[in-house]
């Protein structure tokens, strides 16, 4: 390989690692913020409401972090190792993370991502 190709692959490798670090940081910081918010809310709300809000906040941070980790995997597979084996591994990773994302979305929102939100009047009646 030429020196320019080596430099490009090195840059792509570090970009991939940077995106992975951002994804991990989002999950860790999001979890800490969700926990801090939970501890603050537990005094102001009922325990069930505080737990529900905590799970929702934590799920959102995990979802966002997973998006960054998937992006890093795509960059790594397409730019650095474009083999059939690496593409198959990427497909498996994307399937697993997509399943996790859908599961978290259902847990947070209480509906499938393709379903429409209930009108505000219906949601207000559920809360009563």
State the Cα angle at 113 between 67 and 115, rounded to 5°: 170
pLDDT value of position 119: 67
Instruction: Retrieve residue 113's tokens.
Output: 């991502």
- Asked if residues 56 and 37 have their Cβ atoms less than 8 Å apart, the reply is no
pLDDT tens digits along 68-100: 988 888 888 877 767 888 888 888 888 887 888
pTM over 0.85: no
Dist CA 58 CA 118 (whole Å): 23
pLDDT of amino acid 48: 83
More confident residue, 128 or 75: 75
Distances (CA, A) of 45 to 39, 52, 87, 107, 110: 11, 11, 48, 20, 21
Tokens of 11: 């840059």
**Token pair in block for residue 106:** 């259902």
Amino acid 125: pLDDT: 52
For the residues 15-44, what does the mean pLDDT come to?
93
pLDDT at 122: 52
Above 60 in pLDDT, residue 2? yes
C-beta separation of 28 from 68 below 8 A: no
SS3 49: helix
Q: Which helix (H) or strand (E) holds 39?
A: helix 3-41
Is the predicted pLDDT of residue 19 greater than 90, yes or no? yes
Banded pLDDT at 3 (limits 50, 70, 90): confident
């Amino acid at each position: 390989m030429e020196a320019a190709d080596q430099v490009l692959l090195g840059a792509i490798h570090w970009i991939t690692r940077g995106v992975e670090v951002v994804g991990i940081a989002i999950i860790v910081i999001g979890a800490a913020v969700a926990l801090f918010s939970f501890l603050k809310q537990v005094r102001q709300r009922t325990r069930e409401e505080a737990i529900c809000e905590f799970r929702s906040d934590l799920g959102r941070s995990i979802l966002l972090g997973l998006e960054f980790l998937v992006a890093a995997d795509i960059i790594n597979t397409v730019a650095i190792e474009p083999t059939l084996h690496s593409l198959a591994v990427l497909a498996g990773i994307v399937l697993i993370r997509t399943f996790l994302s859908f599961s978290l979305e259902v847990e947070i929102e209480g509906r499938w991502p393709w379903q429409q939100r209930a009108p505000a009047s219906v949601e207000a009646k559920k809360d009563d």
